[in-house]
Amino acid sequence: MAGNSFGQLFRVTTAGESHGPANVCIVDGVPPGLELSEADLLADLKRRRPGQSKITTQRQEEDQPRILSGVFEGKTTGTAIAILIENQDQRSGDYTDIKDKYRPGHADYTFDAKYGFRDYRGGGRSSARETTARVAAGAIAKKLLARDCGVRIVGYVRQVGPIIAAIPDPAAVTLAQVEANVVRCPDAQAAEKMIALIEQVRGEQDSIGGVAELVATSVPPGWGEPVFDKLKADLGKAMFSLPAVLGVEFGSGFASASLRGSENNDYFTTADGKIVTSTNRHGGMLGGISSGMPIVLRCAVKPTSSLSRPQPTVTCAGQPTTIATKGRHDPCLLPRFVPMGEAMLALVLADHYLRHRAQCPRK
């Protein structure tokens, strides 16, 4: 179905390069009557944008979205919503080196191998700049989910390098806690250490990886479809479609490999007249269908590949050389990853919300 679209009923299609004139997004299938303005998109775009704090890239982008269609008198009409986000800080001069060399860890080589050539300006289509479009679309999904189902989506940084935050209850973390510091970690003590580490690695012309945790609460039971479009399958795809994600896990995740069934199973019980599980090692889905418990997932995000120190590589012709990326890159991707991950979580949930009510409308 062509790789620049995502979702079945709540469907996003994006286009745009890092240093082209604009990024564009068409969101199809949004129910009519949802109040929507550009301000609704701006909140998350600001959380994603470069230059937002001392520990992110200092590149400046306004990321001002413009809704071109699908909204009339302040409400969605049910027809396709087009969003335009013009690129401003392009400084193409910074990127001439990557025309002839393959940056380690980037898609320069694979794009050349696939297409025969590439738009080398700032990574072109492989740049994370395309995630602006996702974040804008995700803001619409969040609004729909909140209005119709009370779903609340919060992401935060769980780990940076060896520093792991203590999060007693993922479902209790609030947006305010997350936004209380520039690294977006609700554990204030860990956050301080993370920030110090990020500044240190930048000083050492290096970068550092980490883990983001994403949580959706108040998701009703029943979303997701057997057998291929399990909710966890579509969430897995969504997260791995984001740049730099090398791992995804739900609930007990990789830790479950070391556990026995008697240790890993969650037991059903009741609370407030509803069937729930007393623990949530399953991460909110059973058989790939939401259980009503909070959806909890983690993404492993690799350390930024661009380093300002010289790294060995080859030219496009295969000759050994070195490359050093000139400044303005995030020493750690995690703080800006949080809104991207939230957006993808929201998009999957909105899609499965519509899919579920198509087949199984509430009586």
Please report, as residue ranges, which positions from 264 to 323 form the binding site for its own copies (by CB under 8 A): 264-270, 273, 275, 277, 282-283, 285-292, 300-307, 309, 311-314, 318, 320
Of 21 and 54, nearer to its own copies (C-beta) is 21
- Which range in 24-32, 53-61, 170-178, 184-192 contacts its own copies by CB under 8 A? 24-32
Binding of residue 65 to its own copies (CB under 8 A): no
Of 56 and 304, nearer to its own copies (C-beta) is 304
- Which range in 51-59, 166-174, 187-195, 348-356 contacts its own copies by CB under 8 A? 348-356
* Closest-CA residue to 216 (of 275, 280, 134, 151): 151
Taking the complex as a whole, the smallest distance from the CB of residue 71 to its own copies amounts, in Å, to 9
- Measured from the Cβ of residue 217, the count of other Cβ atoms closer than 10 Å reads 18
Please name the residues in contact with 287: beta carbons below 8 A apart, sequence gap of 6 or more: 226, 230
- Which range in 39-47, 54-62, 188-196, 233-241 contacts its own copies by CB under 8 A? 233-241
Look at the block and give the residue holding tokens 């590949």: 305
Kindly tell me the sign of the dihedral angle through the C-alpha atoms of 266, 213, 131, 62.
Answer: positive
Binding of residue 47 to its own copies (CB under 8 A): no
Give φ, ψ of 256 to 5 degrees.
Answer: -65, -20
Tell which one of 93, 168, 203, 261 touches its own copies (CB under 8 A): 261
Binding of residue 90 to its own copies (CB under 8 A): no
- Which range in 42-50, 56-64, 179-187, 224-232 contacts its own copies by CB under 8 A? 224-232
Tell which one of 11, 49, 184, 193 touches its own copies (CB under 8 A): 11
The letter for the amino acid at 113 is A
Of 43 and 360, nearer to its own copies (C-beta) is 360
Binding of residue 356 to its own copies (CB under 8 A): yes
Tell which one of 44, 45, 55, 70 touches its own copies (CB under 8 A): 70
> Count of alpha carbons within 13 Å of 341, Cβ hemisphere only?
32
Binding of residue 152 to its own copies (CB under 8 A): no
Please name the residues in contact with 186: beta carbons below 8 A apart, sequence gap of 6 or more: 156, 165, 167, 173, 174, 177, 178, 180
317-331 burial, b at 16+ Cβ within 10 Å, e below that, comes to: eeeeeebebeebbbb
Cα separation of 337 and 351, whole Å?
Answer: 21
Q: Are the CB atoms for 301 and 341 separated by under 8 Å?
A: no
